[in-house]
């Protein structure tokens, strides 16, 4: 999806706004998984998630394109919105964000703090996305999709940092929401000429990408009710699916209980916060421990933006009920 030169240019855009995030080899996680395990800490960005990288590069490229931009609008469950909101503030562009009713209170507060106007609409992300697109046309605003090559090139910079810092990774596990993260990882691996296997991870309750990967065509679902809101996708991107089908080794589905257990593992073993989507890669690795034992493995902790009441419930040994995640 991009050349090495384009990737390096994106890295410079990102580094102008934030330092590279760390990657750590945590002994207790290594014991837990039986692997030489490295965690890429995207929960350490200025928005607590990897998405910031994409927003910075997208808006930079948009302004450089010469197109008239009177304002930005997009749909989000939180991290994408924070990314666009912070980038909009950096580049002095007004930002409107659509999210479904019942969205994360703390993510909503963070988006407002970055200066965005928020509108709640619909019961899930895809309903909010359709409405945001309609409003963009009606009000002549620039709509930022959840998947776009500029977004992919931006978020790919975490993979560029990771692969340059940690060599000879056998496999990297990454969550799949709308696909920018895994596509950036695949594309970076390919442009660097590496042999690392890429494994996507989805929630069992939001299996659209897993179903699509298996069948080779976009498969939509009627719902995606998971407390891991970053992977709550009902309608996969056809463009993303093509990249994933071409470059991923497999997609693993994890349960709500397994995601909750991985959040607890991150806290107990590293004292890091992981939101549901951010913990999903570790959940998948734990699920595949027998097959992966002894290998050098990476997991992308894509974000740590979990609301306090939900985190308290998880730390108490519970799994948030589906009605609480709707």
Question: What is the tens place of the pLDDT at every residue in 20-49?
Answer: 999 999 999 999 999 999 999 999 999 999
Domain-located, residue 322: no
Sign of torsion, CA 85 154 272 76?
positive
- In which residue ranges of the chain is pLDDT below 50? 324-326
pLDDT of residue 322: 60
The reply to whether 232 falls in a domain is: yes
The pLDDT of residue 323 is: 55
Estimate to the nearest angstrom the gap between the alpha carbon of 29 and the chain centroid. 21
- 304 lies in the same domain as 185: yes
Residues 167 and 295 in one domain: yes
Instruction: Mark which of 143, 168, 194 sits at the end of a domain.
Output: 143
Count of structural domains, the chain: 2
Are 40 and 183 contained in the same domain?
yes
Q: What is the pLDDT of residue 326?
A: 37
Residue with tokens 């605003």: 141
Same domain, 65 and 27: no
Q: Are 70 and 25 contained in the same domain?
A: no
Inside any domain, residue 323: no
Q: Residue 126: its pLDDT value, please?
A: 85
pLDDT digits (tens, 9 = 90+) for 42-88: 999 999 999 999 999 999 999 999 989 999 999 998 999 999 999 99
Same domain assignment for residues 179 and 260: yes
Q: Does residue 176 share a domain with residue 136?
A: no
Read off the pTM: 0.95
Q: Has residue 26 been placed in a domain?
A: yes
Any domain includes 20 = yes
Q: Report the C-alpha dihedral over residues 147, 150, 156, 158, rounded to 10 degrees.
A: -100
| Domain final residue, candidates 93, 126, 143 | 143
Report yes or no on 101 lying in a domain: yes
- What pLDDT is recorded for position 98? 97
Domain that includes residue 181, residue range = 4-48+149-316
CATH number of the domain that residue 162 is part of: 3.40.50.1100
């Amino acid at each position: 999806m991009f050349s090495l030169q384009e990737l390096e240019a994106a890295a410079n855009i990102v580094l102008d706004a934030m330092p590279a995030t760390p990657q750590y080899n945590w002994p207790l996680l290594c014991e837990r998984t039986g692997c030489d395990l490295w965690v890429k800490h995207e929960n350490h960005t200025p928005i607590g998630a990897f998405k910031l990288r994409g927003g910075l590069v997208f808006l930079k490229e948009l302004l450089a394109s010469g197109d008239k931009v009177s304002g930005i609008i997009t749909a989000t469950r939180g991290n994408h919105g924070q990314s666009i909101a912070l980038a909009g503030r950096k580049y002095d562009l007004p930002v409107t964000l659509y999210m479904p009713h019942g969205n994360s209170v703390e993510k909503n507060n963070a988006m407002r703090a970055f200066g965005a106007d928020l509108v709640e609409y619909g019961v899930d992300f895809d309903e909010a996305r359709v409405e945001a697109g309609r409003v963009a046309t009606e009000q002549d605003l620039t709509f930022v999709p959840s998947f776009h090559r500029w977004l992919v090139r931006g978020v790919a910079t975490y993979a560029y940092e990771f692969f340059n810092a940690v060599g000879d990774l056998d496999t990297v596990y990454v969550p799949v929401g709308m696909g920018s993260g895994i596509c950036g990882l695949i594309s970076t691996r390919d442009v660097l000429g590496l042999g690392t296997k890429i494994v996507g991870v989805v929630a069992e309750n939001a299996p659209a990408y897993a179903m699509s990967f298996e069948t080779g065509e976009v498969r939509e679902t009627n719902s995606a009710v998971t407390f891991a809101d970053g992977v709550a996708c009902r309608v996969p991107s056809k463009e993303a699916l093509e990249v994933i089908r071409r470059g991923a080794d497999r997609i693993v589905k994890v349960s709500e209980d397994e995601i909750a257990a991985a959040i607890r593992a991150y806290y107990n073993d590293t004292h890091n916060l992981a939101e549901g989507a951010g913990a999903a890669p570790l959940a998948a690795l734990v699920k595949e421990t027998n097959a992966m034992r002894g290998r050098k493995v990476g997991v992308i902790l894509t974000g740590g933006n979990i609301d306090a009441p939900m985190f308290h419930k998880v730390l108490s040994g519970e799994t948030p009920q589906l009605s609480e995640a709707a």
